[in-house]
Structure 1
Amino acid sequence: MTEVIVVGAGPTGLLLAGDLAEAGVAVTVLERRDGEISNLSRAFVVHARTLEQLDARGLAEALTDTGTVLDGLRLFGRVRVDLSMLPSRFPHLVVTPQYNVERLLLERALRAGAEVVHNAEVVGLSQDGAGVTVTTNGGTYRAAYVVGADGMRSAVRHLVGLPFPGRSVLRSIMLADVKVAREPDQVLTADAVGDAFAFIAPFGDGYHRVFAWDRRRILPDDAPLALDEVREATRRALGDDFGMHDPRWLSRFHSDERQAPRYRVGRVFLAGDAAHVHSPAGGMGMNTGLQDAANLGWKLAAALRGAPDALLDSYQDERHPVGRSVLHTSGAIVRVALVRSSVGRVLRGLLGQGALAVPAVRARAAGRISGVGFAYRAPAGAHRLVGTRAPDVRLAGGGRLYEALRGGRFVLVGDADVTGWEDRVRVAGHAGPGGSAVLVRPDGHVGWAGTDAAGLRRALTALAGAPMSRSEVPHA
């Protein structure tokens, strides 16, 4: 029987499915679209924390090879967020279309044994104390848990009765795939002048993706769109339309700010755009969803091995505040970007540059946008490291921490007895100052730290599930 059903084969659902399959969990992905990966993706930026998560899955280098590396993000005018000083192996972002992320994650999930069912539209869902039944247009499926990673219009969220409060931030955003006669000076070009904004980035196949918005032409999403309208808004925002021509796709959409009040209803969970949607400012939407998946996958695997139900509640406790923070950050960026008066735009530039000249402000801004700056709240009385993001340290005996995390196992940095958890915990390196050991979770956050052997075993039971019996422990 399938143990977990993931609804949605976008980046969030595919990373989650791959994590579960690598952990030995039987997982089925239900996707309403056909099997072709669409090039109509809106996400183009992969940030440092997401690259760290992909590194822990052996995919970071392959993804980087598909795009362009930038050590900063220009939000508007002269205001630039410097990423080069991030405390990460990836002090940069990668500009690459979302479909490259999906392709790599799909290949990984299939290699690990995940089943992906296409043309499967979810139309019904019910749950009881033993599991969840999902009905699609082509059949019925049963699993212990279900994760809705099915986007802003999530059928799963609707079927469990969760609201999606919020509002539309920008209506009638124009989206176009075009060729250009003149390449922009920067790989990722974006600016706003109050009544218009535009963003342009290369696909890598000769086409560029353009997002443009004109305050003076707010039309329904299904209103016809001509290339001249895109050109005009881009000229006003960027000073040049770069000789756009030969569009292969033109459309309108609207951008919302919304967040579900809960990410869990019984045995059903929400992740990615099904749980939260943000303005496109800062390029944080897809990244936040991928990090949701990285947080949830190992917890579901542990719950299926007997970890307490409270571990699954921690998904809400840890990821809901992050989603709320990203919503506030991206919303603030877009509101400042769309200041209408020329005086306001001058002040925006001066104040932005001045604030980012302060090291603490610069580091906080880079940490929030990149995702590297987020830590989870530790339980009362826990070691100060618990919940923090673990840096990619070199391990005694060779190798890096995030290489050791590959395969979805915990990594214990220190010398301690993990008998019973050998299948889930890799012991790497020697104890730190004072003889302390650090248990790093599969998502790269610290789960426990200390010197108490009994405390480590309690933490392992709570985080990784019940230990193997003596008969199950492998012998040398």
Structure 2
Amino acid sequence: MAGTNGVVVVGCGPTGLLLAGDLAQAGVPVTVLEKRPPGISNLTRAFALHARTLEQLDMRGLADELESLGRPMTRLGLFDGLTLDLSGLPTRFPHVLVIPQYEVERVLQRRAREAGAEFRYEAEVTTLTQDASGVTVLGRGMEPLRAAYVVGADGMRSAVREAVGLPFPGRSVIRSVVLADVRLSEDPPDLLTAGTTGDAFALLIPFGDGYHRVVGWHRSHDVPDDAPLDLAEIQEIVRTALGRDYGMRDPRWLSRFHSDERQAPSYRAGRVFLAGDAAHVHSPAGGQGMNTGLQDAANLSWKLAAVLQGRAAPSLLDTYNTERHPVGRTVLRSSGTLIRLAMANRPWTRALRSTLTTLATNFPALRRRALHQVTGLAYSYGPGPLTGKRAPDIPLPGNTRLYEALRRGNFVLLTQGPHEAADRPHLTTSEWGGPTTLLIRPDGYIAWAAKSPSPTKLEEALLAHMGPPDHPTRTS
């Protein structure tokens, strides 16, 4: 049985893979458990990386590779002709990157393996037992594992969430959504082609291998997930929503699913954490699912590493729930609003949609706020003008920038000139031209800010956020 100085991550999707890679790169022993056989499946639903997620991936040196594998889209169409222009976003990534989830998983899995994460497949978790020093993980197809902490990133039907007794309240927002991978005889007009009539909606997304993923729904086809599905039903839905089916043919995969809105009341139960779809699920509107899970992982990973390596008190882990739970709740509400507006078929709901479209079209501030929320740039973890806010990718001396400096997994201290702070092994320092001294967290958010602080004040801030310079490595 393994010792209690590491982390067990349950689930080999994007959330679990990013978390495992971060922990392994930080030197934390990590084991990934996955109940499926080895291999990356192309039967995935997520196809979009938003700007803030791309920034997080840039902090790990992965964004440029993923950009080369996907296709950027600078305009995001919603309904009633409302289009959000992403080209002016204040980021290195002013677009949505259309890329299949399996490509993201492949890159993240390679990184985690190269960093030393251990993978165990066909291992299905059934029981978790916690005590003061760790968690024992039991399951089918696996030997008992002992770890300091466990993270459930095992999806909507999370065995980890069930094992610790956390409820998953909510409801189905839309039933009998259909998925298919098909070839098209005609090219759609846009990279991402979407349409809605109130009674139906459809979305066409290219795989890049000659196939398109179709996502569709029709109000009259409210049937169970296991009801038979054929190409004719898919074609009918697409023609209703888009006016034509673009010569749809040769399906290689067909499926139904229902879209739920659910959120665990807490993302933590003792030494067990939930992330991604295990913690929250919502409608696919806005393409925020995979993005929210990846940002959960980015928030949690550095905190686990800091606590396990003795650089922070265990109470730091409480901030994962206090910071990420409100974000999950907001995403659930915003995506739910989008899907309900897209499905609107009553006169008053269509009038409301038309009014909101007019407001967003005529008021740039409202449109910008919606755009920053969908892309993840708007979220912050603090009420102050700087503390808790997203740090932009600040240019630094030596022809580098902040997000490159964050690739070491360290805090980054930006000062206006030479400083007298004690050296710390997990701190990267640099001068910059701004008016404020900034301490940036490993996930790219501002931990502390002050104008011209004294050496004493600076040292106090470093001590508060990073612990003493010479800390003992310990397990918690």
Distance 1:243 1:91, change over 3 A: same
Instruction: Report the equivalent of 2:48.
Output: 45
The one-letter code sitting in structure 1 at the alignment partner of 2:111 is R
- 1:76-91 equivalences in 2 (<5 Å): 76-91=79-94
SS at match of 1:76: coil
Are 1:397 and 1:429, in contact at CA under 8 Å, matched by a contact in 2?
A: no
CA distance in 1 between partners of 2:348 and 2:232 (Å): 29
- 1:220-299 equivalences in 2 (<5 Å): 220-299=224-303
Distance 1:161 1:452, change over 3 A: farther
Moved over 4 A (4+): 341-347
Shift of 1:343: 8.1
Shift of 1:377: 2.0
CA distance in 1 between partners of 2:144 and 2:283 (Å): 35
Higher alpha-carbon deviation: 63-72 or 274-283? 63-72
Distance 1:363 1:49, change over 3 A: same
Shift of 1:460: 3.3
What is the root-mean-square deviation in Å for CA atoms of aligned residues? 1.8
Q: Which residues of structure 2 form unaligned runs of 5+?
A: none
The one-letter code sitting in structure 2 at the alignment partner of 1:429 is E
- CA deviations on 1:347-376 (whole Å, 9 max, x unpaired) are 634641442331210110110000001111
Instruction: Report the equivalent of 1:405.
Output: 406
CA distance in 1 between partners of 2:106 and 2:463 (Å): 35
Instruction: Report the equivalent of 2:439.
Output: 439
User: Which of 304, 313, 338 matches 1:300?
Assistant: 304
- 1:16-415 equivalences in 2 (<5 Å): 16-137=19-140, 138-306=142-310, 307-341=312-346, 345=350, 348-349=353-354, 351-378=356-383, 384-414=385-415, 415=418
The one-letter code sitting in structure 2 at the alignment partner of 1:212 is G
Identity of aligned residues (%): 58
Shift of 1:398: 2.8
CA distance in 1 between partners of 2:442 and 2:71 (Å): 28
CA distance in 2 between partners of 1:390 and 1:396 (Å): 17
Are 1:305 and 1:466, in contact at CA under 8 Å, matched by a contact in 2?
A: no
The one-letter code sitting in structure 1 at the alignment partner of 2:118 is E
Instruction: Report the equivalent of 2:426.
Output: 424
- CA deviations on 1:420-444 (whole Å, 9 max, x unpaired) are 52x21100114732xx410111111
Instruction: Report the equivalent of 1:449.
Output: 449
Are 2:80 and 2:357, in contact at CA under 8 Å, matched by a contact in 1?
A: no
CA distance in 2 between partners of 1:446 and 1:42 (Å): 33
Shift of 1:82: 1.7
Shift of 1:53: 0.3
- CA deviations on 1:398-432 (whole Å, 9 max, x unpaired) are 301001100211111114344252x2110011473
SS at match of 1:139: coil
Shift of 1:455: 4.1
Distance 1:15 1:4, change over 3 A: same
Distance 1:217 1:139, change over 3 A: same
Are 1:256 and 1:277, in contact at CA under 8 Å, matched by a contact in 2?
A: yes
SS at match of 1:187: coil
Instruction: Report the equivalent of 1:464.
Output: 466
- CA deviations on 1:53-104 (whole Å, 9 max, x unpaired) are 0000011111111111011211124111221121111111100100011001
Distance 1:276 1:469, change over 3 A: closer
Instruction: Report the equivalent of 1:473.
Output: none
Distance 1:425 1:102, change over 3 A: same
